[in-house]
Amino acid sequence: MRLCQFLVAACCIHVLIASNHWVLKDEQIVQKLDSPFFMREPHNLIAFLEQIRYNEYVERSYLELLRKREQIVEHLRFSMRFGEDLAEQAKCAMDFYLLEKGMSYLKITPDQFKRINLPEHRDLQQAAAAIQKSTATTTKHERALEPICGNYYELGVGPATYDHLDSFQPEVLESAYVDREHDSNIGTATAELMRRYALDGLQRQPDSWKFHTLSSYYWRMRGNALQALPCARLATMLAPPEQKDIPLLSLGTILFRMGRLADADLILSAAVEHAPQVAENHVVLASALALKHDFNRSQQHFDEAERLDPSTLPHTQQVRNFISCLENLTKKTSKIDSYVKYMKNELKEFKKLKYHISQNHERLVQQQLPLGARRFLDSRANNEDLHRRGQYCSTRTPNGSDEPILFCDFYSDMQMRLESKDIDIDVLERDLMANTESVIRQVSTEIRKQFNLEQLKAAKATKST
C-alpha cells in the first residue's frame, strides 16, 4: 500500500517537472518562459498550490483595481461638472453685492435719525437744507470742532459698555476700520448736520445718550471707527431701557461693518430684546445674519419684521432672494465637500488594494525562476517576447563574498502593469487634489471672498465708476 502511494506521488512530481507550463505556439507545444509557474522548485507541490492561489488573487484583484480606477475617474469627471454648474449658480450671490441698496439696513437711515426724537429740527430733509444754506457763513474754527464723545463723558467699565467683548480690546481697536456711510435719501449736508447737532448737544448735555448716538452717526459717515465706537458705547450706557435699542443698533452696525460678526450678532440681538416691537431692529439683525450665513435665524427675524410692519417686505426682498440663493449654494457646496471626502476614501481603498496586490505578487515572484536566468539561456526557445521587455538591474553581494555582482532581470507582465500610469496612485491623487481645488476655488472660496466687506466696497466702487 505504501509503495502504491509512493508511486502515485512520484508520478505526480514527474508530471509537474515535465509539464510546468506549456502552451501551443506555431503548432508546437512549447514552454511558456514568462509564466509564473516556471518555478524555482517545480517538485514542491505545496509551493505550486500556493503559487496558484497567489496568481489567482493577483489577476482577480488587478481587474478590480482597474474597475476602481475607472470608477474614480468617472467620479472626478462628475465632480468637475458639478463644480462648474455650481460656479454658474453662484453668480446670484455675487450679483447681490452689486445691488445699489443691498446693505441699506446696515446704514444710517432717516427713520433711525427720527427715532432719536430731538426737540427741534425733527425733519431731517428740512434741517439738511437749512445746513446747506448756512454752511457758507460757518467759520473755519467752527468747522474744525468735532464731537469727540470722550471729551464730554467718561466711558465706564462693566457689562453696560460691553467691555468684555473681544472687539473692544486694545489690540483690536488699534486696527479698527469702517468704511464711510452715504445714503442719497438723506442728502449731502447730513454729515455737517450731524456734527452741528452732536457738538451743540454734547456741550449743553454731555450726559445725554441722544447726542452721543448722533456723534456715533457722524463718525460712521466720516468712516472713523475709533471715534464712532466709544460714542455708541457711551450712548448705550446712558440710554434708558426703553430707548437702549437705538444706540445698540448703531453699535452693532459698526461692529458688523468692521467684520466683527460674532460680537455684532450679540449687540444687535440685544437691541431686538430691548425693543422686540420695532420692526427695524429685526430687519437690521436679519440682514446681518444673512451675511453671516445664519439663514434660519435671519428668515425668522425677517418674518417677524414683516408681521410688525408689512411695508418692510419690498425693502427686504432682495436680501431674501440672496438668502435663498446662498442657502442652496451652501447645501450644494456641502454636498461637493462630502463627495470629495468620499473620493478620498476611494483612493485610500485603491491604494490599499494595490499594496495587497504588490505583496502577493512579491510572494509569487519569490517562487518563480528568474526570467533572465536559466529560462532565457535556453537557446532552443523563441525569446522574442522577452527581448521586447524592459529590464531592471540591481547590485547584490552574494553570501560568502565581498564582491558586489550586478544582477539584471526582465519585468514580468504584472510588474509592468502595476508600474504603468494606468493605475498610478500619485496621478489619481494629483488629479483629485487639482479637481478639488478647482471646485472649491470656483465655488466656496470665491463666494466667500465676495462676502468680505472689502470686496463689497471694491465692487460698489467699480460700479460707481
Q: What is the pLDDT of residue 441?
A: 61
Beta carbons within 10 angstroms of residue 334's beta carbon: 11
Contact 391, 411 (CB under 8 A): yes
Read off the amino acid at residue 354: K
Dist. CA 442–CA 436, nearest whole Å: 10
Q: What is the pLDDT of residue 422?
A: 67
What is the share, in percent, of the chain residues with pLDDT greater than 90? 23
Report pLDDT digits (tens) over 127-156: 444 444 454 455 444 556 899 999 999 998
Question: Does residue 100 register a pLDDT over 60?
Answer: no
DSSP per-residue letters across 275-312: -TT-HHHHHHHHHHHHHTT-HHHHHHHHHHHHHH-GGG
Read off the amino acid at residue 133: K
Q: Poorest-confidence range of 52-56, 188-192, 225-229, 376-380?
A: 376-380
pTM of the model: 0.55
pLDDT average, residue stretch 114-125: 62
Q: What is the pLDDT of residue 463?
A: 43
Question: Does residue 86 register a pLDDT over 90?
Answer: no
Dist. CA 302–CA 282, nearest whole Å: 6
CA distances from 325 to 6, 43, 89, 96 (A): 83, 73, 8, 10
Q: What is the pLDDT of residue 105?
A: 57
pLDDT average, residue stretch 46-68: 90
Buried b (16+ CB within 10 A) or exposed e, 282-320: bbbbbbbbbbbebbeebbebbebbbebbeebeebbeebb
Q: Poorest-confidence range of 88-92, 141-145, 299-303, 355-359?
A: 141-145
Average per-residue pLDDT for the chain: 75
At residue 1 the predicted structure's pLDDT band, cuts being 50, 70 and 90, is very low
Local structure of residue 402 (DSSP, 8 states): -
Q: Which helix (H) or strand (E) holds 31?
A: strand 28-31
208 against 22, higher pLDDT: 208
In 3D, which of 131, 44, 33, 51 has the Cα closest to residue 410?
33
- Show the cell assigned to 90: 453662484
In 3D, which of 347, 329, 350, 346 has the Cα closest to residue 440?
329
Report pLDDT digits (tens) over 307-349: 999 988 877 777 787 778 777 777 777 777 777 788 888 888 9
Number of C-alpha atoms within 13 angstroms, CB side, residue 441?
7
Question: Does residue 99 register a pLDDT over 50?
Answer: no
Q: What is the pLDDT of residue 53?
A: 92
Question: Does residue 411 register a pLDDT over 80?
Answer: no
CA distances from 231 to 107, 200, 237, 262 (A): 16, 15, 10, 20
Burial environment of residue 407 by CB neighbours within 10 A (0 to 12, 13 to 18, 19 or more): middle
CA 80 to chain centre: 16
41 against 150, higher pLDDT: 150
> What structural domains does the chain harbor?
106-308 (1.25.40.10), 369-411 (no CATH)
Dist. CA 1–CA 216, nearest whole Å: 111
pLDDT average, residue stretch 11-29: 57
Report pLDDT digits (tens) over 223-276: 898 999 999 999 999 999 999 999 999 999 999 888 888 999 999 999 999 999
Q: What is the pLDDT of residue 209?
A: 95
Contact 90, 447 (CB under 8 A): yes
Supply the Cα-derived Rg of the chain in whole angstroms.
Answer: 40
Contact 281, 271 (CB under 8 A): yes
Local structure of residue 354 (DSSP, 8 states): H
Q: What is the pLDDT of residue 437?
A: 66
At residue 297 the predicted structure's pLDDT band, cuts being 50, 70 and 90, is very high
Beta carbons within 10 angstroms of residue 370's beta carbon: 15
- Show the cell assigned to 316: 427686504
Contact 48, 39 (CB under 8 A): yes
Dist. CA 327–CA 81, nearest whole Å: 20
Dist. CA 249–CA 110, nearest whole Å: 14
